[in-house]
């Protein structure tokens, strides 16, 4: 058990790490936290004009680095944002930032904004995109939720319609999701499921959602408003390797309520079972058998990537 003295020491070490040791990459240079600053005229700040990625570091190795960078460049291309470095340079910058921060396990936030420009939404005067890489700690949900599962609600705030903004673009605009997260918190939950304009299930505020129904793994497609999640893809690949059919489909809240199992996936969250939605108990109210199996395999995949299992 952690004593108060231990907790104090831990807090002080964290403070020291964040204020002195943390090195943040901004356009090729490293700054400590206090000096890592960008312009108030950056269009990322003024208009949410930019794209980002969240990645995980496990035992010093970046999980699915190639896929995250590819998604970042695809998001940037879709919004006509030119990233001022090649994919190889970006990969190298991410790895170097991890190394400089000496992070064995943690999270990477990779942000590319449109850069500094005049007031007014026209992005053409923004001369150079701003590339920011932050390496930090992450703990999305308390440990007990991974063991027991999590309760979520349906938010009234809808996912931006795919015909307005393609959900595959991981943009800096998260206001709808933030509103949904606030609703979840007001309801005493940590997550919320978001519906699309038609009322079909899209995803959660920062995670994709899956259900098990009639021995099939089902998840909404990007055209329903889901981000093309990298953890989601990993889980679908694992399911296939286990002989479990997985497919993208249209889901309603009725499907969620009557699912045999339900879970969420995300880089930060990994896989977390959902055991109650809007007061309806899912399955028998504990993390389901398939969810547990997928979680186990997912952890193995992490080890495989580290070369600990061949």
Name the residues that contact ligand PMP, by CB under 6 A: 54, 177, 203, 206-208, 227, 229-232, 265-268
Q: Which residues pair with 280 in a beta bridge?
A: 277
Pair type for strands 246-248 and 216-219? parallel
Q: How far is the CB of 229 from ligand PMP (least distance, A)?
A: 3
Q: How far is the CB of 116 from ligand PMP (least distance, A)?
A: 26
Q: How far is the CB of 56 from ligand PMP (least distance, A)?
A: 9
Q: How far is the CB of 59 from ligand PMP (least distance, A)?
A: 19
Pure H helices in 101-140: none
**For residues 167 and 200, what is the distance between their CA atoms, to the nearest angstrom?**
14
- Among 40, 20, 39, 41, smallest CA distance to 31 is for 20
Q: Is 96 a catalytic residue?
A: no
Q: How far is the CB of 42 from ligand PMP (least distance, A)?
A: 21
The number of angstroms, rounded, from the C-alpha of 289 to the middle of its chain's C-alpha atoms is: 24
**Pick 84 or 222: Cβ nearer ligand PMP:** 222
Phi, psi at 74, each rounded to 5°: -70, -40
**Pick 31 or 58: Cβ nearer ligand PMP:** 58
**Pick 123 or 268: Cβ nearer ligand PMP:** 268
**Pick 232 or 297: Cβ nearer ligand PMP:** 232
**For residues 274 and 287, what is the distance between their CA atoms, to the nearest angstrom?**
7
Q: Buried b / exposed e across 13-50, counting CB within 10 Å, b at 16+?
A: eeeebeeeebbbbbeeebeebeebebeeebbbbbbebb
SS3 128: coil
**For residues 96 and 92, what is the distance between their CA atoms, to the nearest angstrom?**
6
Neighbours of 110 (CB within 10 A): 23
Neighbours of 192 (CB within 10 A): 26
- Among 93, 98, 120, smallest CA distance to 108 is for 98
**Pick 166 or 203: Cβ nearer ligand PMP:** 203
**Pick 108 or 131: Cβ nearer ligand PMP:** 108
**For residues 41 and 38, what is the distance between their CA atoms, to the nearest angstrom?**
8
Burial status of residue 71 (CB atoms within 10 A of its CB: 0-12, 13-18, 19 or more): buried
Task: Spot the catalytic one: 23, 103, 170, 181.
Answer: 170
Q: How far is the CB of 20 from ligand PMP (least distance, A)?
A: 29
- Positions annotated as catalytic residues are 170
């Amino acid at each position: 058990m952690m004593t108060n003295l231990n907790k104090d020491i831990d807090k002080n070490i964290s403070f020291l790490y964040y204020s002195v040791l943390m090195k943040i990459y901004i356009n090729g240079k490293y700054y400590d936290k206090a000096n890592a600053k960008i312009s108030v005229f950056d269009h990322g700040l003024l208009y949410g004009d930019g794209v980002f990625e969240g990645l995980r570091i496990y035992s010093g190795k970046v999980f699915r680095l190639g896929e995250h960078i590819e998604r970042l460049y695809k998001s940037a291309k879709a919004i006509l944002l030119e990233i001022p470095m090649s994919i190889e340079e970006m990969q190298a910058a991410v790895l170097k930032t991890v190394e400089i921060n000496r992070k064995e396990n943690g999270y990477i936030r990779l942000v590319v904004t449109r850069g500094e420009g005049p007031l007014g939404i026209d992005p053409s005067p923004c001369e150079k995109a701003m590339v920011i890489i932050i390496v930090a700690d992450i703990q999305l949900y308390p440990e007990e939720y991974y063991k027991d599962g999590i309760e979520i609600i349906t938010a009234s705030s809808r996912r931006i319609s795919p015909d307005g903004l393609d959900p595959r673009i991981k943009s800096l605009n998260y206001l709808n999701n933030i509103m949904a997260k606030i609703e979840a918190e007001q309801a005493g939950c940590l997550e919320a499921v978001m519906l699309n304009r038609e009322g079909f299930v899209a995803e959660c505020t920062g995670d994709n959602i899956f259900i098990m129904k009639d021995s099939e793994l089902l998840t909404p497609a990007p055209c329903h408003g889901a981000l093309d999640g990298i953890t989601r893809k990993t889980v679908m690949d694992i399911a296939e390797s286990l002989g479990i059919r997985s497919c993208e489909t249209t889901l309603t809240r009725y499907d969620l309520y009557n699912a045999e199992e339900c879970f969420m996936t995300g880089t930060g969250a990994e896989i977390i079972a959902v055991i109650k939605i809007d007061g309806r108990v899912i399955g028998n109210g504990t993390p389901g058998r398939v969810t547990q199996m997928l979680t186990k395999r997912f952890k193995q995949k992490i080890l495989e990537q580290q070369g600990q299992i061949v």
